[in-house]
Chain A
Amino acid sequence: MKVSRGARVFRRLAVTAIVLWSLLPILVGVVTSLTPRADVQTSGWLPSHPASTAYSTLINGTAISSSDAGIPSPTDTSSFGPTMMNSATITVLSTIAILAVSILAGYGFARLEFRGSRRLFFVILATLVVPVFTVVIALFRLLSTFHLINTYPGLILVFVSVQAPLGIWLFHNYCKELPREPEEAALIDGCTRWQAFRKVVLPQMRSGIAALGAIFMLAVWGEFLIPLLLASTLDTKPVTVLITEFVGKYTTNYPLVMAAGVMAMMPPAIVALVLNRQIRGVLSGSVG
């Protein structure tokens, strides 16, 4: 269909507005992170003398006295590196665990019919509508009885329980759409169900796994409330929780906070940009 001139101008304006709306807050963060602390309250839109002090402070982990910067005394910037590592470890391990559980269960529910399988499937799906907060308190107590608070296994288990229902549902739909024939041929040729799954089904699922893996990575990396309660010590504390401690009650060292924010948003931003096609596919309701 032909697009009129007016419509084209309108679209150009709209697209500019959309891009500005999405990027402006991020640019503000980047610019602020490069502004010297003394200039933040006075400088205009762009710093006259950009400086990377905030970044080097965070990367070198220099301890900052609490009088400077309004940082609560127990937290100094030396925690930044370790919490970034914690975030990375938790994200990678949780994503693998979530994928493993939801691929297996999704495939199982899609292909293996057993007594009560449909009912079980819906019971697991029902947990999708349970807000995390309804279970987080009981979960907190459950994990403390097993001494799993502030440990990787505890956190990873919780993330699996939060994310897997969505994963199971999406992989179930995905497997339903895969052709049955190659698998059946393998079964007839004497493969076991497990061999057929590993050698025939799994390779076909590559794009779906990449797409959902990206979604889970973003979700886990951005998680705040759960680690705020279940990972409060430096052994496991992720960067999202640490950053909020950088915000002072009365004054905030904005360059420092923004530099931390920029570094903490790098991994998810890169994942989102590189895998944006796959992610959009999942979000708009189709996997792959």
Chain B
Amino acid sequence: MVLPALLVSGALVFYPLVKGFSTSLHTGGGGTGLPSQYVGFDNYSAGLQDPTTGQAIVHTLFYLGIALTLEIAAGLFIAVSLQRVFRGRGIVLAILILPWALPSVVSGLLWRRIFDPQNGLLNHLLLDLHVIHDPQVWLAGAGAIPFITVVHAWGVIPLVTLIFLAGLQSIPDDVYSAAAVDGATPFRQFRHITLPLLLPSMAVAATVGTVAAINIFDEIYVLNGTALNTRSIVMQVYNTTFNQANFSTGTALAFLVGGATALFGILYTVAFRRATV
């Protein structure tokens, strides 16, 4: 019964993983027409020494930091607002998951229209409100990364919210009632009951958000292509491998990304264990 699963993951995950690692240690080979040669970790250092890789790593850290902040803050706010039962809650929850359900390419396009310098909704609104006096090119300047992160977070927030809602449901109502009787304000209840008891959900949400943010690609591709000012590390891998046709260096970088993702996962698990024990 488990055989199909083993065959598929063996052939399509483990074999490419091993093969890919070997590619990352060689130059030439494959479709390049050059003889394959073992070069140790040269491809890794070559990939890392490319100044655009350094930039891409910095960009990715920005994406990650902004995305996690937005997702956890908005997720908490939405989950707490929807915590109690009220009329129409089911409909609101159904609408809530829509941004998550849409293809990220389509979300990118929707927001591209909002950010468009010519008569985009954002410029339109801000000009009408006299916040700005000339239309802005949002995706060109320093704001490009935050704007793209908003689009990315738009799709991830529903997931984070649902994780928090499940966490909130596990907190018994009595705890709040007891605190209220003791005179705790809603803010203090949130600070001293909700937040500490939500820590496990936070760890899960942070891990989900981190994996999504490190692998950010679709939204950037649609909103700004492979432009250098917003290029993430995965986009750098894509560009190195397929546009510069450098399979070896691309694979080496991909392994670094994979390692970093795993590292973050372990870090969160350890931090979470520390926080709860």
Contact = CB atoms under 8 A, between A and B. Distances in A.
Interface of A: 1, 3, 7, 10-11, 14-15, 18-19, 21-23, 25-26, 28-29, 32, 40-45, 100-102, 104-105, 107-109, 112, 117, 120, 124, 127, 129-139, 141-142, 157-158, 160-161, 164-165, 168, 197, 218, 221-225, 229, 240, 243-244, 247, 252, 254, 257-258, 261, 264-265, 268-269, 271-273, 276-277, 279-280, 283-286
B154 A108 contact: no
A275 to B, nearest CB: 10
Contacts of A105: 1-2, 4-6
Given A18-B96, A25-B110, A268-B103, A134 B254 contact: yes
Contacts of A124: 5-6, 9
A264 B247 CA distance: 32
A280 B247 contact: no
Contact of B4 (A100, A229, A276): A100
B103 A240 contact: yes
Contact of B17 (A19, A109, A138): A138
A268 B102 contact: yes
B257 A134 contact: yes
Given A157-B8, A165-B9, A25 B258 contact: no
A29 B98 CA distance: 14
A108 B78 CA distance: 39
B72 interface: no
Given A42-B119, A138-B23, A244-B221, A130 B5 contact: no
Given A131-B257, A134-B17, A18 B82 contact: yes
A132 B12 CA distance: 11
The secondary structure that dominates the B interface is: helix
Contact of A131 (B4, B12, B215): B215
B262 interface: yes
16 contacts: A41-B119, A45-B121, A100-B4, A130-B17, A131-B215, A135-B16, A136-B254, A137-B247, A141-B23, A157-B12, A161-B13, A197-B1, A257-B109, A264-B106, A273-B94, A277-B90
A105 B8 CA distance: 11
A1 B176 contact: yes
A129 B261 contact: yes
Interface string B224-243: 00000000001001100110
Of B6, B19, B94, B163, most A-chain CB atoms within 10 Å: B94
Contact of B9 (A127, A137, A225, A247): A127
Nearest to B119: A41
Contacts of A107: 1
A247 B114 contact: no
B65 interface: no
A242 B1 CA distance: 38
A165 to B, nearest CB: 7
Nearest to B111: A25
**Interface size of B as a range:** 35 or more
A138 B19 contact: yes
- Closest 4 A-B residue pairs measured CB to CB? A161-B12, A105-B5, A108-B1, A222-B103
B163 A141 contact: no
Nearest to A274: B94
A43 B92 CA distance: 31
Contact of A244 (B77, B100, B222): B222
Given A18-B82, A164-B5, A280-B93, A271 B166 contact: no
